[in-house]
Amino acid sequence: MSLHIPFDNSYARLPAQLFASHAPTPVATPRLVAFNHALAATLGLTGTDEEDTLAQVFSGSVIPPGAEPLAQLYAGHQFGHWNPNLGDGRAILLGEANGYDIQLKGAGRTPYSRSGDGRAWLGPVLREYVLSEAMHALGVPTTRALAAVETGEEVFRETALPGAVLTRVATSHIRVGTFQILAARQDITGLQALFEHTLTRHFPDATGPVDLLDAVIARQAELIAHWMSIGFIHGVMNTDNCAISGETIDYGPCAFMDSYHPNTVFSSIDRQGRYAYANQPDIVVWNMAQLATALVPLMPDQDAAIKAFTRSIHAMPALIHHSWLRRFRAKIGLNTARDGDETLITGLLTLMAQQGADFTNTFRALVNDSAGDQFVDRPAYEDWARPWRDRLEQEPGDPQATMRAANPALIARNHRVEQMIQAAVAGDYTPFTRLMTALATPYDAPGAFSDLARPPSEDERVQRTFCGT
């Protein structure tokens, strides 16, 4: 085969209890439906011109030279409840190239599959492909999508659906839950090995567990503020879906909001709204507290550890708020900080919530001061806009450029993603290709893609999203 992947597999060299060596299960008739050539180049892949080879490798049917396939062990708190037994139940890490994990998702059963079939269907595979690449184009740290392959097999989810495999790329797949499971098992050797590996891979300047926690907190605080600033709702922020690297991971029931409301929830399984839009900053702090707990056994003096970790956790809400304020200032055109800015921001958000204004389009319309169109009660908006315009007058630089860079014109709207999936299932990949092209430059004027900026009509609105299982 001409395909070459420059593997160097550091995870496979970790203590054996951290993973299960396990090969993907071959599929019937793999067919490549998407491949990310730019990302492949970043990973150092060569010989990527044979579609058939790509389909074989990225469906898990052929193991490429140098790969050491394995399923990673982890646990996690799901909706606040401890689940001691998780792990890659349908994902298999092929290995690492140029410092990135290359992982197949939907590649068959593993020792951690429990009652699952180890498979994925085409819908969630394309959903993750589009959403993760859209997030990347928006500038948000995220796992990436390298390939999508239809398997030619059926997957059963209440009904028979076309099977698919997604190749996901991340700087690593180490999660809060990866630490948690070793701490819970009191496996100090494993925990220490994972800790050292994590420092080498992500935080070479960190020296101890407190440093590590602070570094992860800093990245997660920035990440969540970033999500908030683009109206992104992850939907399933369990500790096993919270990456140490600070990348967005696990695109299950996630969604971008259309009309703004802080309590928005899409996930069909989030009945209490634990992972609602406005709860995300609190939840990530909770997740970091679970990471801190898992790191305690690594500290020689546990009382001192608890004191230091507690300080770090207590400092996190202010960090998130600081990033949030910086990002939302930019969204209304402000690079400088003044008293009263936050009131201005929350004033607009309150108005948007009251009137169900479209999150993305309202902020984008601020660029040319046309946001009044987004409100039913226009005078109420004008009352907000007058002091805002006065504040902009005093702003040095180019507020319009600031807003254009902070307020995307295009997001992956739910109804467009659903339409894209329905078309692909019927064999038409035109909407997928078009969505991918449009979402690659979300801050540009949408031009020929202006239909993709339109909010859903009543009958297009997606009320619920589902996990990929």
Q: Is residue 247 within the footprint of Mg ion (CB under 5 A)? A: no
CA angle 184, 296, 289 (to 5 degrees): 85
Q: How far is the CB of 69 from Mg ion (least distance, A)?
A: 19
**Under 8 Å between Cβ of 103 and 87:** no
Q: How far is the CB of 313 from ligand AMP (least distance, A)?
A: 24
Q: Which amino acid is at 18?
A: L
Rounded distance between C-alpha atoms, residue 251 and residue 227, angstroms = 13
Task: Select the span of 67-75, 164-172, 247-255, 446-454 touching Mg ion (CB under 5 A).
Answer: 247-255
**What mask of x and - would describe binding to ligand AMP in positions 193 to 232, judged by CB under 6 A?**
----------------------------------------
Q: Which does 252 bind (CB under 5 to 8 A by kind): Mg ion, ligand AMP, none?
A: ligand AMP
Q: Is residue 358 within the footprint of Mg ion (CB under 5 A)? A: no
Q: Is residue 161 within the footprint of ligand AMP (CB under 6 A)? A: no
Q: Is residue 469 within the footprint of ligand AMP (CB under 6 A)? A: yes
Q: Which does 206 bind (CB under 5 to 8 A by kind): Mg ion, ligand AMP, none?
A: none
Q: How far is the CB of 252 from ligand AMP (least distance, A)?
A: 5
Q: Which does 425 bind (CB under 5 to 8 A by kind): ligand AMP, Mg ion, none?
A: none
Question: Which of 90, 202 has the CB closer to ligand AMP?
Answer: 90
Question: Which of 158, 390 has the CB closer to ligand AMP?
Answer: 158
- Minimal CA–CA distance to 355: which of 331, 378, 382, 332? 378
Q: How far is the CB of 237 from ligand AMP (least distance, A)?
A: 10
Q: Is residue 248 within the footprint of Mg ion (CB under 5 A)? A: no
Quote the distance between the C-alpha of residue 203 and its chain's center: 20
Residue from 25, 113, 355, 400 that binds ligand AMP (CB under 6 A)?
A: 113
Q: What are phi and psi of 353, to 5 degrees?
A: -65, -45
DSSP string, 292-316: HHHHGGG-SSHHHHHHHHHHHHHHH
Residues numbered 77 to 96 that lie near ligand AMP (CB under 6 A) are 86-90
Rounded distance between C-alpha atoms, residue 172 and residue 11, angstroms = 9
Residue from 167, 241, 279, 402 that binds Mg ion (CB under 5 A)?
A: 241
**Under 8 Å between Cβ of 34 and 148:** yes
Helices 399-406 & 302-331 angle (0-180, nearest 10):
120
**Under 8 Å between Cβ of 309 and 295:** yes
Task: Give the chain's end-to-end CA distance (angstroms, integer).
Answer: 33
Q: Which does 117 bind (CB under 5 to 8 A by kind): Mg ion, ligand AMP, none?
A: ligand AMP
Q: How far is the CB of 46 from Mg ion (least distance, A)?
A: 31
**Under 8 Å between Cβ of 273 and 265:** yes
Q: How far is the CB of 355 from ligand AMP (least distance, A)?
A: 34
Q: Which does 101 bind (CB under 5 to 8 A by kind): ligand AMP, Mg ion, none?
A: none
Residue from 198, 241, 245, 407 that binds ligand AMP (CB under 6 A)?
A: 241
Question: Which of 274, 327 has the CB closer to ligand AMP?
Answer: 274
For residue 376, the tally of other CB atoms under 10 A from its CB is 10
β-pair partners for 97: 7, 100
Q: Is residue 25 within the footprint of ligand AMP (CB under 6 A)? A: no
Q: Is residue 467 within the footprint of ligand AMP (CB under 6 A)? A: yes
Question: Which of 241, 362 has the CB closer to ligand AMP?
Answer: 241
Q: Which does 64 bind (CB under 5 to 8 A by kind): ligand AMP, Mg ion, none?
A: none
Q: Which amino acid is at 5?
A: I
Question: Which of 355, 469 has the CB closer to ligand AMP?
Answer: 469
Residue from 133, 214, 247, 250 that binds ligand AMP (CB under 6 A)?
A: 250
Q: Is residue 116 within the footprint of ligand AMP (CB under 6 A)? A: yes
Rounded distance between C-alpha atoms, residue 25 and residue 14, angstroms = 24
Rounded distance between C-alpha atoms, residue 109 and residue 71, angstroms = 10
Residues in contact with Mg ion, counted by CB under 5 A, come to a total of 2
Residues 6+ apart with CB under 8 A from 145: 34, 36, 39, 128, 129, 132, 133, 166, 167, 168, 169
Task: Select the span of 113-121, 146-154, 165-173, 432-440 touching ligand AMP (CB under 6 A).
Answer: 113-121
Rounded distance between C-alpha atoms, residue 113 and residue 287, angstroms = 24
Q: Which amino acid is at 25?
A: T
Exactly one of 101, 240, 270, 358 is catalytic; name it. 240
- Minimal CA–CA distance to 331: which of 281, 276, 401, 257? 401
Rounded distance between C-alpha atoms, residue 255 and residue 411, angstroms = 10
> Position of tokens 């300047």?
205
205 catalytic, yes or no?
A: no
Token representation of residue 338 = 């003044």
Interacting residue ranges for Mg ion, rule: CB under 5 A: 241, 250
Interacting residue ranges for ligand AMP, rule: CB under 6 A: 86-90, 113, 116-119, 241, 250, 252, 467-469
Supply the residues annotated as catalytic.
240
